[in-house]
Amino acid sequence: MEQLTEELNQYNYEYHVLDQPSVEDAIYDQKMQELRKLEEAYPDLVHPDSPTQRVGGEPLDAFQKVEHKIPMLSLANAFNEQDIRDFVRRASQGIEEPISFVCELKIDGLAVSLTYENGKFVRGATRGDGYIGEDITSNLRTIRSIPLVIKEKETLEIRGEAYMPHRSFLALNKEREVNGEPLFANPRNAAAGSLRQLDPKIAAKRNLDIFLYGVGEWNNSKLTKHSERLVRLKELGLKTNPEWKKCNTVEEVMEYVDYWTKERPHLDYEIDGIVIKVDDLKQQEELGYTAKSPRWAIAYKFPAEEAITKLTDIELSVGRTGVITPTAILNPVKVAGTTVQRASLHNEDLIREQDIRIGDTVVIKKAGDIIPKVVRVLVEDRTGEEKEFHMPKECPACGSELVHLEEEVALRCINTNCPAQVKEGLIHFVSRNAMNIDGLGEKVINQLFQANLVKTIADIYRLEKEELLKLERMGEKSVTNLLQAIEASKANSLERLLFGLGIRFVGAKAAKTLAMEFETMDNLQQATYEDLLEVDEIGEKIADSIVQYFQEQKVIDLIQELKELGINMSYLGAKPTELEKGSIFNEKTIVLTGKMDNYTRSEAKELIEQLGGTVTGSVSKKTDLVIAGEDAGSKLTKAKQLDILVWDENQFQQALKDEGVES
């Protein structure tokens, strides 16, 4: 059994990683069948590294959350040659020694993290928000280019991109077409959808692949360059993309970019750009991080692909604040990997400026490779049958007269009872940055709205199990989970409620500022225009909007209803008095490492930032403090080498108490 396992894993490596199979498929299948029979006869001797163990276990009910010990930050973007040259210049200015770069293809897939302990693959997770992802170990085990065992005893956490090769994508869509199922728009969506299947057997059929390109945690100080890491990962049997290149000048970087901009159609997988990284790991540490991304890397995005199609109609939609937005209806056309049928036209002025008419042949592209937009009209293709478009004078949803508010381009419906606005307001209220009610997305809100179960925000908190069970696709378990999520949202801090109410000009940041300053909903309701202007970052527009909002009788009634329904009306975060400059964390650069018993990494980060500190991902000479939990690893070692102050969790907890923060 051990011999067969070793042979089959070697064949897998040759076939899926090296793309150099050494045996015929029939021989592989014969040995696999032999191993299966032996494992059935001797189940106690099944090795975890056996190729038969890639798909096993029952489907999951839900994915567990996984905290990334080292955040999986996204990269800043470059869109042209000047952006790349500016990045190289900035990186070089901060470094005394000569600097070189590694250029890699930016795989268009799903960012994942693989963790190996004592040589065994123990956990795989999605990137998530960079700090918390989802455990998709069972699905990642189905990718045959991921070895279940490697020759590395140190804990090793690797980052990479799981993707669907073109051949797998075409085969999958062909099968779905035969079965009458909706087709996937592009390989990226197909890969992401496959890895988020609760049944790993489904993921196994999708024939996914992976390229590994980075390291999160690795207690291996011998490697000093990113390029050396790529070589070592390959030596360990991990699949890296072979097309990376080391460049010593910006001209060499641009040559690499130009080459792959032209050659990418010939690859068997999708790429959407080029990643450029400083090669030297010590120089990476010196350059450090911004709040969102490393300063030592950048992602160049390929220019947006354009396509030509016919604009067949212009539809109107009513937004949460009453703004009427025209949308172009297009003959379906493929752009940057997805089929596009709609494109925003923003407002009537843009339609007039571009002289867009119904029936025109138009050029479209995706802004940032995401949002479709009409670039220009091919006037020379007009036949004379095209029709000019005029915005209506009445709201398409409620029939109320549309108005231009002062200094606004957009037409707006000012009927606050407009059903379209009410529905959009409900969708906003339950969204992630507002009340964050899991399971209550746009589709469910539409369903509830059409069934007349929800007409106001307060109605959400009056939903009952029996009426929900009558709805389509609402089973016992999903209804129970939904009602639990709604109940849990009652305990949210005040800023989430303020943002969710959709007060004009009050975004998430302003909501947090107002909640911290006034502490309760009652205090904010009673605040005068002058009181509001005294708050930092609150200007005249926001102050005026808030005063007007809380003067409306229906708002006063809504707040009272929400109070009676048990929704929290107080700010639960750190009080403004706790953010004094005297805080021990104020203006300090702090690194979190290892696992703490009482805090997740994101909780500790939020507490430090509330007290004026900055949390970064790597230890350098600029680090003021390292807070080390269990299994702290290389960051703790680095801190000791640089003689940086180190606290354990107890010291951190005591410092928070000294600052008046409850742990």
DSSP string, 282-344: HHHHHH-B-SSSBTTEEEEEPPPPEEEEEEEEEEEEE-TTSBEEEEEEEEEEEETTEEEEEEE
CATH assignment of 307-388, among 3.40.309.10, 2.40.50.140, 2.130.10.10, 3.40.190.10: 2.40.50.140
Separation of alpha carbons 481 and 324, rounded Å: 35
Beta-bridged to residue 660, according to DSSP, are none
- Per residue in 66-122, pLDDT tens? 889 888 988 988 989 999 999 999 999 868 889 999 999 999 999 999 999 999 999
DSSP string, 579-632: G-TT-TTTT-EEEEESB-SS--HHHHHHHHHHTT-EEESS--TT--EEEE-BT-
Band of residue 293 on the pLDDT scale cut at 50, 70, 90: confident
CATH architecture of the domain with residue range 419-489: Orthogonal Bundle (1.10)
CA proximity to 459, closest of 486, 484, 434: 486
CATH 3.30.930.10, domain 582-658, yes or no: no
- The amino acid present at 635, given as its one-letter code, is K
106 belongs to the catalytic site: yes
- Per residue in 150-183, pLDDT tens? 988 888 999 999 999 999 999 998 888 777 777 7
pLDDT at 422 > cutoff 80 = yes
Active-site hit among 31, 37, 69, 106:
106
Strands 245-247 and 101-107: antiparallel
CATH of domain 2-54: 1.10.287.610
- Per residue in 447-506, pLDDT tens? 999 999 999 999 999 999 999 999 988 899 999 999 999 999 999 999 999 999 999 888
CATH 1.10.3720.10, domain 494-564, yes or no: no
Whether residue 603 contacts residue 652, with contact meaning beta carbons closer than 8 Å, is answered with no
pLDDT at 328 > cutoff 90 = yes
pTM of the model: 0.55
Separation of alpha carbons 546 and 158, rounded Å: 48
Beta-bridged to residue 276, according to DSSP, are 103, 298
Q: How far apart are the first and last CA of the chain?
A: 52
Band of residue 578 on the pLDDT scale cut at 50, 70, 90: very low
CA proximity to 500, closest of 544, 562, 453: 562
CATH architecture of the domain with residue range 77-301: 2-Layer Sandwich (3.30)
pLDDT of residue 56: 55
- Rounded to 5 degrees, φ, ψ at 27 are -65, -40
